[in-house]
Amino acid sequence: MSRGAAKAPSQRQLRVGEQIRHVLARLLQEGRTHVEVLTHRDITVTEVRVSPDLKAATAFVTPLGGQDMPGTLADLRTAAPALRHELARELNLRFTPRLSFQADRSFDEAAKIDTLLRSERVRRDTLPRGPEGPDEPVKPQEDDNGAAS
């Protein structure tokens, strides 16, 4: 294995990340962030990745409608100590991970891929091709009984 190869997260990392995601989502929904501006924002916590030593956690977030991502991230970074304190109260972990927040770009990537797949060029490339090229119609094949398929 090469030095730069990323190792898949352990079951414990996945489980702790999911627990943190649930608690963060609830804290944000209930407005328990100690940052007034966040009480007026609808924020989705899509994923939480935890470091192998469980001492750091990165929460991937997206505001409803994708509005004001930079402001949302800044407010979450301000609220991180209070959110960490609340996590410590609610989760039974030896160490409460340091929280960092990043924008979740997976929805943007999915939309980009969807647009590409719907483009005329890709659609044309996925059409069946006849023996003489892409404009040649494909003849239906017949089975042993002479029926077209």
- 3-state SS, 83-105, equals HHHHHHHHCCCCCCCEEEEEECC
Distance CA 148, CA 93 (A): 64
Residue 79 sits in a domain whose CATH number is: 3.30.300.20
Count CB atoms within 10 A of the CB of residue 24: 23
Query: In this predicted model, which residue has the larger pLDDT, 24 or 109?
Result: 24
Residue 149: its pLDDT value, please? 55
Domain count, the chain: 1
Q: Does residue 40 sit within a domain?
A: yes
Residue 148 inside a domain? The answer is no
Kindly report whether the global pTM for this prediction surpasses the value 0.75: no
Greater model confidence, 131 or 98:
98
56 inside domain:
yes
Q: Is residue 53 part of a domain?
A: yes
Tell me if 133 is assigned to some domain: no
Token output for 128? 């069946």
Q: Is the pLDDT of residue 1 over 50?
A: no
Task: Write out the residue range of the structural domain in which residue 50 sits.
Answer: 11-109
In a domain, 86, yes or no: yes
| Mean pLDDT value across residues 72-92 | 92
CA 21, CA 47: separation in Å to the nearest integer? 6
Is 62 domain-assigned? yes
Residue 42 lies in a domain: yes
- Express each pLDDT in 37-69 by its tens digit: 788 788 999 999 999 999 999 999 998 877 888
How many whole angstroms separate alpha carbon 101 and alpha carbon 35?
15
